[in-house]
Amino acid sequence: MDVDGLNAGFARDLLEDYLENPEAVPSEWRELFESGSSDVVATHPGLVRLLELAGNGHQAGTAAPPPPAPAPTEPQPVTDELLGAVAAAMALVKAHRMHGHLAARLDPLGSEPPGDPALEPERLIPKLTPELQARVPASVLRLYVPGETLADTLPRLHDTYCGTIAYEIEHIADHEKRMWLRQAIESGKYRRPLTADERKELLASLSRVEGFEQYLRRAFLGQKQFSIEGLDVMVPMLDEAIELAAENGAHEVVIGMAHRGRLNVLAHTLGLGYDSIIREFEGERTIDAVVATEEGGTGDVKYHLGAEGTRSTPAGEITVTLAANPSHLEAVDPVVEGRARAEQTDRSTRYGLHDPSVALPILIHGDASFPGQGEVAETLNLSALDGYSTGGTLQIRAKGARRATRATSRRVSTSRSST
């Protein structure tokens, strides 16, 4: 026996009565429900449980009621202390983003950074004790580091902004750019750990840099070398930038730099042979250098020379050019930008279409010359003009550590971090 569509509503009502008390319905209906062959039963959400009880030989009416759902936990009461802690936590997060670089450990010689009182949780009002930090939810602080509470996120935030890499981005006026940089920095998206092979290659690169420096120092004692000491990592940094440029479709990388570290960049970034560099130290000049100009000049000094080489990368070959720089200041900056812009411009048609991905300009500045030389600011201003923009330049401020000759608390260089 089954139920036709006209009586389905009546049958469902009887089924509800049966589920509450099987004895409350007539026996023929009880037999139908317990057989499990009725469409009314098959469409009821309690069918699985009903058949399970019938299969175990239990009467549906004597089934044990389901366990009560756990009572929802009451939300934490919002007190004045908690509101004050949230405000203090937001100030602490802002202090790390604005002044974290002052507590970053950037000196390879191990000197203590100056720090900033605003970075200390115990000095805020109210004091952000570990117990109070555990009550502040991270979701209200607009952080991108993982963690549920301030107690979870603060150590990660401190490591990010006060570690061996420092960031200064809060002065940027464009809100969208500032937010993108915050997310990129705090999420660690671009700070993946190196593999074992990458560590070995990095060590080999730094060893080549140091070995070359040591040889020049011993073999040509007293001659100007403008050592790369303290900036050794600049060479593998350039290697990584060149590979990333090639991955993104660049055909050429144009580099401009002053004297410091130039010989090592010529040797290990552009692939200029050691013999060519050593001949410069020994005073040898090729016939090409003598007849290169009408005046019959003998060439420039070794730390003004430019060069061009081809690098093989996983993405293919790419041209690397180091622009000649006759000055230790910033005269090469607009030259590099102009050369990169020329490479980026398609001159095969009269429209001169501009593709910034074709060439990457890299400028390496002295730590003091970057803010001190007007040519730097003038070149930066060119980026706002359509006819001169190169789509972005990798700017590196080279600040090497120098050993002090006497104990002093005066700082002769900026405390700002270098990029």
Q: What's the one-letter identity of residue 240?
A: E
3 state DSSP class of 163:
coil
Distance CA 42, CA 332 (A): 83
Question: Given CA atoms 185, 314, 250, 396 in this order, what sign does their dihedral have?
Answer: positive
Other CB atoms within a 10 A radius of the CB of residue 251 amount to 17
Cα Rg for the chain, rounded, in angstroms? 36
Domains of the chain with CATH codes = 5-62 (no CATH), 89-187 (no CATH), 222-398 (3.40.50.970)
Reported as a single tens digit per residue, the pLDDT across 237-272 is: 999 999 999 998 899 999 998 888 888 888 888 888
Per DSSP bridges, beta strands 353-354 and 316-322 are unpaired
Look at 419 and 302; give whichever has higher pLDDT.
302
- Is residue 365 a contact partner of residue 396, using CB atoms and an 8 Å limit? yes
Question: Whose CA is closest to 133, among 115, 148, 116?
Answer: 148
- Give backbone dihedrals phi and psi of 366, rounded to 5 degrees, phi first: -70, 150
Task: Indicate the pLDDT class of residue 40, thresholds 50, 70 and 90.
Answer: low
**Mean pLDDT lowest among 85-89, 113-117, 269-273, 325-329:** 325-329
Cβ burial of 177 (10 Å; 0-12, 13-18, 19+) is: exposed
Q: pLDDT grade, residue 112 (50/70/90)?
A: confident
* Structure confidence at residue 320 (pLDDT): 92
pLDDT at residue 406 tops 60 = no
The answer to whether 330 touches 360, Cβ cutoff 8 Å, is no
User: Can you tell me the distance from the alpha carbon of 83 to that of 370, in angstroms, rounded to the nearest whole number?
Assistant: 44
